[in-house]
Structure 1
Amino acid sequence: MQTEVLDVTGMNSEDCTETVMRAIKTIDGVGTVAVSYPGNRAIVEFDEQLTAPREVAAVLEKAGYGVRKLNLGQASNDGCSGRCGQCGCAG
């Protein structure tokens, strides 16, 4: 499994979190998905044999959102990779 941290643009309310999550989960090979509206982030774990970040981006763009890949170390100022639940990246 591979993990990507995406900067998701166009989320304008907490409702967008569920929309983004549902869109990503439609992709074969996607495992865990964590989305943060305040952090404009989606952390996606996926099987790289079944899908790729470009497919995730394409699905989100089709749903009306913009996407930019981030390095895991950029997920927060302290490099927590968005799993601390305190940085606003995800949690």
Structure 2
Amino acid sequence: MMKNLLVITVLVLSLTSFQVKAQQCCPTSKSQTIMEASINQQTTNTVKFKIDGITCAGCSNAIYNALKEVEGVVEHSVEYPGDIAIIKFENSKTNIETLKKIIEKKGYKVEKVIETTQNES
């Protein structure tokens, strides 16, 4: 029994060591670094919508899932209760009107509350 425990411990330590070495051997390529830098320099907007018609968590999930599919949405949350959606998006890929229409297409009335713009670096 003690021998089996020793063998298992050695195997676990060996695999852990192998995984650490495997992660270290793959440096980030120059093109990947340039691409990440250009993504990080995108201008993002954050909009806060007041949404009428949310009656349950299922409604907020439906809106959340619809926004998740939109190209350019970086982060988003839909609060119930509270009936608020906060959406951070890349303004080069989508806009407030598009986001509003997506929520309205689900059957809700949308009112813009606050909008902010940030240059990401």
- TM category (shorter chain) comes to 0.7 to 0.9
More helix by share: 2
1:41 matched to 2:88? The reply is no
Superposition deviation, residue 61 in structure 1: 0.8
Q: Secondary structure at the match of 1:71?
A: strand
Partner of 1:71: 114
Q: Secondary structure at the match of 1:15?
A: helix
Question: Structure 1 counterpart of 2:49, which letter?
Answer: L
- The structure number with the bigger radius of gyration is 2
Question: Structure 1 counterpart of 2:114, which letter?
Answer: N
Superposition deviation, residue 59 in structure 1: 0.6
Distance in 2 between residues matched to 1:21 and 1:31, nearest whole Å? 12
Partner of 1:60: 103
Count of matched residue positions in the alignment of Structure 1 and Structure 2:
72
Distance in 2 between residues matched to 1:24 and 1:69, nearest whole Å? 16
Superposition deviation, residue 17 in structure 1: 1.3
Matches within 5 A, 1:5-20: 5-20=48-63
Distance in 2 between residues matched to 1:30 and 1:71, nearest whole Å? 17
Superposition deviation, residue 63 in structure 1: 0.8
Gaps of 5+ in 2: 1-43, 116-121
TM-score for the superposition, normalised by structure 2? 0.57
Gaps of 5+ in 1: 73-91
Partner of 1:75: none
Match of 1:21 among 42, 49, 64: 64
Question: Structure 2 counterpart of 1:27, which letter?
Answer: V
Superposition deviation, residue 51 in structure 1: 0.4
Distance in 2 between residues matched to 1:25 and 1:65, nearest whole Å? 17
More displaced stretch, 63-72 vs 50-59: 63-72
